[in-house]
Amino acid sequence: MRYLIYLVISTLLVYGLPYSTAQDDFFDEELLLKPLASGHVYAYFQFTTLWEAPNNVQTFQHSHLFPRGLGEIIGRHKVDELHISLTEGLWNYEKWGYPVHDAGSGAEIFAWFNKNVSNVNNEWKSLTNALAGLFCASLNFVDSSNSMSPEFSFRPTGIVKEPPNSSYLRYSSLPREIVCTENLTPFKKLLPCDSKRGLATLLNSAYIHNTNYHSLGIHFRSVCRNAGCTKSSLELRQTVSLVYDTLTEATQDWSIRKLFGIGIKGACPLASLSNVYIDMTSNETVHVYQLTPSPNTKVTSFRGGQQQQLAVYDIRTYSNRGMFNIAAIYTTPKTSSVTYPSVLYANRYIIGYGQERGSLVTKLHNNHWQSLDVILLENIPWYLPVYLHTVKVICNGQQIKPLIQRYMPGRERTRPYYLELVLRLPPHSVTKFSIELDYLFLKWQEYPPDANHGFYMGPAVITALLPIARNYTALPLDGSTITSSFNASRNGYLVQLRTESLLISLPTPDFSMPYNVVCLACTAVALAFGPLHNITTKRLVLKNVTRNWKKKLLSFVKRLTKDTKDKTD
């Protein structure tokens, strides 16, 4: 079976040769569709550009398939590795398994800089500004006050010459960031076929932004060019992850047309590989469905003790008859079940009341029969000062001592609180990590225009090396395309879970207070001013009144009557 895949790939490579003889770069487009047990459909697009060239400024002066705009930024800022994700929604690890690329909600970015960058902070600032312009995202809000250099969580995924030093790493997340068409537009423009041909024509904004979860990703790294790994190639993966809900629809049937609003027109002529894979592992067990048209080939992949059935569609062989559609027709009524929950998942929340202090809790669920080692990275903004002595890691009523602990206290307006723990989670357990924190008062100009909405806190990152590959879809470290994940058994399967990002209401002043004070003070002044002004500026003078005999008589009568009244009293 494996031979068959190679045959398919090699024929495709020959097909793509006219485009790749003069140039030393390749472009692959792939789409993986995976019906999840929960009744959702996971769609993962991957556009891979491989370029047999070293990573330096001279390389990026000319480009062929590699996007020039991104290449220039990478070259100028001496970036060795770059990962950006723009995500809306939360990946449900418990029910959906593991995605190919993990991403926290909002924007997330991390980069490894070259060793000869002298001032990493400045380079990071200018890199994020340049990327903000490229992707129409507010990445320019990334600065040293919300960036950190974790020691264990993020290792270089590409090849390196010498052991990495985490002082060249910067990680930041902007959980407030929204993702919309304006981010998808520049993303599509980086592809060699734009959105004119190939799988990218399926990326229609109206069908992407109505999903339960959508995530755009840019992943750049260096990979081996030859078997001995003595030369490096550049690899750029552009990914789109989408989760569609089929249970809320009238039928559970889905098709390319229904999910993306359009059928597949044809392959990108520049691509050496254009495939659609449908993961049929859950067919016949959870759901029962039929695929039309039937696939070119079916692949069985064994990986980490799991067997996986995949239907492979080579777009080129189907598209010569015009636009085509792949549909899954269900023969059973609607079902949603989670047969095997994921091995590891986590959630996070804030406890406590009032706007003075609270407590941050992260719960880690280990469903495996063995103990699991995990790295927990907490990224706490500077306006939520935490107390290290209140860290509690409790499992089954017993305190767990972290194997390794790294902590750097934050500093107001310049540095976030960095806490990284390596924990050993006992088998079949729920471990609760908690830390107490304060809510800080900000300066009045530091509040955003919608201060009462609250402040977002980026997700915690939980890294683990899973012993089995159940519900696992990520590619192996040494692979570039989705095909490389077939039969890719390794020693461990890396996952990097992102927890929920939290919305925290900081004590917010009443912004109308100064106005009220001004109004009140003005009223008081006005009331006091009138009489005081009268008293100080006006003089009391006796007025001589000359009276004629009628008035004299009248006043005399008045006086008389008054006297009599007085008497009667």
Partner 1 sequence: MRLVTLSAILSIYLLRANAWEIPENFAETGHSNNWAVLVDTSRFWFNYRHVANVLSIYRSVKRLGIPDSQIILMIADDMACNPRNPRPATVFNNIKQHINVYGDDVEVDYRGYEVTVENFVRLLTGRLPPETPRSKKLLTDEGSNILIYLTGHGGNGFLKFQDSEEITSQELSDALEQMWQKRRYHEILFVVDTCQASSMYEKFYSPNILAVASSLVGEDSLSHHVDPAVGVYIIDRYTYYALDFLEKVEPSSSKKLSEFLKVCPKHYCLSTVGVRTDLFRRDPKTVPVTDFFGSLRPVELTMNIVNVLPAHVNKTQPVEPEVKYTYVSQFPNLSSYT
Cα separation, 357 vs 504, whole angstroms: 11
Closer of 177 and 314 to partner 1 (Cβ)? 177
Question: Phi, psi (5° rounding) for residue 95?
Answer: -100, -30
- Looking at the DSSP assignment, which residues form a beta bridge with residue 396? none
Question: Phi, psi (5° rounding) for residue 460?
Answer: -80, 150
Closer of 158 and 385 to partner 1 (Cβ)? 158
CB of 96 to partner 1, least distance (A): 20
Closer of 293 and 492 to partner 1 (Cβ)? 492
Cα separation, 257 vs 267, whole angstroms: 16
Closer of 58 and 544 to partner 1 (Cβ)? 58
The DSSP code for 168 is: G
Closer of 200 and 278 to partner 1 (Cβ)? 200
CB of 288 to partner 1, least distance (A): 32
CB of 387 to partner 1, least distance (A): 25
Closer of 152 and 382 to partner 1 (Cβ)? 152
Cα separation, 410 vs 379, whole angstroms: 10
CB of 458 to partner 1, least distance (A): 16
Report the 10 Å Cβ neighbour count for 226.
Answer: 10
The DSSP code for 155 is: -
Question: Phi, psi (5° rounding) for residue 488?
Answer: -95, 75
* List of residues 6+ apart from 73 with CB closer than 8 A: 79, 127, 130, 131, 134
Closest CA to 174 of 429, 433, 485, 459: 459
Cα separation, 438 vs 357, whole angstroms: 4
CB of 527 to partner 1, least distance (A): 28
What is the end-to-end Cα distance of the chain in Å, rounded?
125
Cα separation, 565 vs 61, whole angstroms: 112
CB of 465 to partner 1, least distance (A): 4
Closer of 10 and 210 to partner 1 (Cβ)? 210
**Greatest pairwise CA separation for the chain in angstroms:** 136
CB of 439 to partner 1, least distance (A): 20
CB of 383 to partner 1, least distance (A): 16
Closer of 54 and 305 to partner 1 (Cβ)? 54
CB of 558 to partner 1, least distance (A): 56
Closer of 108 and 314 to partner 1 (Cβ)? 108
Compute CA distances 342 → 37, 42, 92, 248, 403, whole Å.
12, 16, 10, 24, 24
Cα separation, 465 vs 485, whole angstroms: 16
Reading the block at residue 242, the tokens are 């989408």
CB of 85 to partner 1, least distance (A): 16
Closer of 197 and 287 to partner 1 (Cβ)? 197
Location of structure tokens 């993020």? 154
Burial 21-32 (b: 16+ CB within 10 A, else e): eeeebbbbbbbb
DSSP E strands: which ranges in 196-231? 213-224
Residues contributing to the site for partner 1 (CB under 8 A): 54, 58, 88, 125-126, 129-130, 132-134, 136, 138, 140-141, 152, 155-161, 163-164, 176, 178-182, 185-186, 204-206, 208-210, 222, 224, 228-232, 373, 375, 403-404, 422, 424, 448-450, 463-465, 477-478, 492, 494, 511
